[in-house]
C-alpha cells in the first residue's frame, strides 16, 4: 500500500500535488465509491425527470395541436409535478452527494494515516458522520447568510 502523507502546513501547490497523487494511487477504489452513490442518483433522476418531462412536453405538444382543449389548471398541474419531481431529485442528490463526500474523505484520511479502508468501511464511516456533517453544513450556511445580510445592510446604509 502506498501512503500519500498530508503533513501540515502545506502550500497550495503541495496540497494539490498530494491530492492528485492520492487520486492516481487510489483511482479505482475512489471511482467505485463515488459510483456507489452517483449511479443510483443518475438512474432515479433519469427515471423521474424523464417521465415528468415526457408528460410535460406531450402536454405542450397536444396544446399546440388543440389549444382550446386545455385550460390553465392542466398546464399548472403538469408544471407543478415537474417542479416537485425536480425538488425530490435535487434533495436526493444532496443527500447522496454528502454520503459520497464523506466516504471519499474517510478513504483519503485513512490513506494519509497509513491505513487501508475498504469501501464498506468508508460507507459505514459516512453513515456515522452524516448528521454531524449536516449540522456543520447548516451552521456554515447560517454564518454565510449572516455575513451576507450584514454586508448588504452596510452597503444599503452607505448608498442611501
> Does the structure show a pLDDT above 80 at 63?
no
Lowest mean pLDDT among 59-73, 93-107, 112-126: 59-73
Q: Please state the rounded mean pLDDT for residues 112-132.
A: 93
C-alpha R_g of the chain: 23
- Specify the pLDDT at position 119: 95
Longest dimension (CA), the chain: 70
Is the separation of the CB atoms in 93 and 41 below 8 Å?
yes
Quickly tell me which residue has 485513512 as its cell.
110
Distance CA 67, CA 79 (A): 17
Q: Give the number of C-alpha atoms closer than 13 A to the C-alpha of residue 73, restricted to the C-beta side.
A: 1
Is the separation of the CB atoms in 56 and 123 below 8 Å?
no
In the chain, DSSP finds a helix count (H) and a strand count (E) of: 4, 0
Q: How many other CB atoms are there within 10 angstroms of residue 97's CB atom?
A: 14
Higher pLDDT, 79 or 110: 110
- Specify the pLDDT at position 7: 67
Quickly tell me which residue has 447522496 as its cell.
96
Return the top range by mean pLDDT from 18-27, 85-94, 143-152.
143-152
Closest CA to 136 of 85, 101, 91, 89: 101
Distance CA 61, CA 66 (A): 9
Distance CA 102, CA 81 (A): 32
Lowest mean pLDDT among 54-58, 126-130, 148-152: 54-58
> Does the structure show a pLDDT above 90 at 53?
no
Amino acid at each position: 500500500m502506498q501512503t500519500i502523507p498530508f503533513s501540515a502546513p502545506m502550500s497550495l501547490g503541495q496540497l494539490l500535488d498530494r491530492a492528485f497523487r492520492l487520486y492516481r494511487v487510489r483511482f479505482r477504489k475512489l471511482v467505485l465509491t463515488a459510483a456507489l452513490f452517483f449511479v443510483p442518483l443518475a438512474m432515479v433522476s433519469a427515471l423521474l425527470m424523464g417521465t415528468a418531462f415526457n408528460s410535460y412536453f406531450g402536454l405542450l405538444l397536444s396544446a399546440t395541436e388543440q389549444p382550446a382543449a386545455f385550460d390553465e389548471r392542466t398546464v399548472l398541474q403538469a408544471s407543478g409535478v415537474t417542479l416537485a419531481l425536480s425538488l425530490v431529485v435535487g434533495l436526493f442528490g444532496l443527500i447522496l452527494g454528502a454520503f459520497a463526500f464523506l466516504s471519499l474523505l474517510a478513504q483519503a484520511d485513512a490513506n494519509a494515516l497509513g491505513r487501508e479502508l475498504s469501501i464498506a468501511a468508508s460507507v459505514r464511516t459516512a453513515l456515522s458522520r452524516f448528521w454531524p456533517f449536516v449540522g456543520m453544513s447548516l451552521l456554515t450556511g447560517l454564518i454565510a447568510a449572516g455575513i451576507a445580510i450584514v454586508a448588504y445592510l452596510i452597503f444599503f446604509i452607505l448608498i442611501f
